Amino acid sequence: MPISGLHHITAIASDPQANLDFYTGVLGLRLVKRTVNFDDPGTYHFYFGDEAGTPGTILTFFPWPGAFPGRPGSGMASAVAFSIPAGSLDFWMERFATRALDFDGPFERLGQPGISLRDPDGLHLELIEQSENDERLARWSAAGVPAQAAIESFHSVSLCLNGYEASARLLTETFGYETAGEEGDRFRFRSPSGAAGALADLRCQPDRLLRGQMGAGTIHHVAFRASDPEDQLAWREKLVEQGFNVTPALDRQYFRSIYFREPGGVLFEIATDPPGFTLDEEVGALGAGLKLPPWLEAQRPRIEKLLPEMRLGVRA
């Protein structure tokens, strides 16, 4: 079966509190999970998404206090676009204007209106209005964002590439995506699944001579969905057969992950839908506690001392 779409996108931030306040208090997303970077347990790992933590809605961050700014460039995902409900663009423009937040637009791209803005670390975000709302998703209404305007899911991710043909072949011939239009240097591909986050935009930008450099305000990796561990294993075998260097499956507590670099250099992940974010919290309590995997639980006192204290109430 084709890849059904995005599972999550992970970026880097510099200030945990500013990151939390912006995504919950300004964009109105839900803090779905508060845990740690399993490879660096002295650092938080935040997951933001819809009410239920649905794959295809989850933007995650490693907020390293004092992290140096990154440099967007080739070989890197360059922008995250969210879907917003039909007719809600005016609400968001007014919301940003009243908060004195700069945004660009409105613009129209491939027939859809949208606006763009930057988060506190400079990460490029876009809100794209849909012609039809996806009632399958559990929009999170909070921080003064009504349900009829709340972010639904990912719309797409943009990749900055020196050339796009090899990356396009991976999406179409391997992942099963279909061409879905082009505009300027943007080439759009869509999973036929119709799931949340089914779009990927390849930006052919050979003038961006400098490779991207990881740091605050940049995207670390882009994760696509596998239905279960068996499906993920089949994808791993297929990618290895095609010559990609793919990691073994790694336990990320809420999903299992494999990683590889696509032909343009962007770090891709294929993550399983199960077990999901309700593994250790009920839906109504998602994000309430600091959750650690079993292999780190014995270190909880030390980890809690290392982590900065957080104000968890939504600051609209």
pLDDT tens column, 105-123: 999 999 999 999 999 999 9
Quick check: 46 and 33 in contact, CB under 8 A? yes
Predicted local distance difference test score (pLDDT) of residue 141: 86
Q: How far apart are CA 108 and CA 163, in angstroms?
A: 24
DSSP state of 11: E
Q: How far apart are CA 174 and CA 3, in angstroms?
A: 9
Beta strands in the chain (DSSP E): 6-13, 30-37, 40-49, 58-63, 76-84, 103-109, 112-118, 124-129, 153-161, 178-183, 186-190, 199-204, 219-226, 250-251, 256-261, 267-272
| pLDDT tens per residue across span 262-282 | 999 999 999 999 999 999 999
Residue-wise pLDDT for 141-185, tens only, equals: 889 999 999 999 999 999 999 999 999 999 999 999 999 999 999
pLDDT class of 209 with cuts at 50, 70, 90: low
Cα dihedral sign for 300, 301, 302, 308? positive
What pLDDT shows up at residue 208? Answer: 73
Instruction: Please give the CATH topology (third level) of the domain spanning 6-306.
Output: 2,3-Dihydroxybiphenyl 1,2-Dioxygenase; domain 1 (3.10.180)
Confidence of residue 134 (pLDDT cuts 50, 70, 90): low
Positive or negative torsion for Cα 98, 99, 105, 111: negative
For the segment 121-149, the average pLDDT, to the nearest whole number, is 87
Give all strands of the β-sheet with 6-13 in edge-to-edge order.
30-37, 40-49, 58-63, 6-13, 219-226, 267-272, 256-261, 250-251
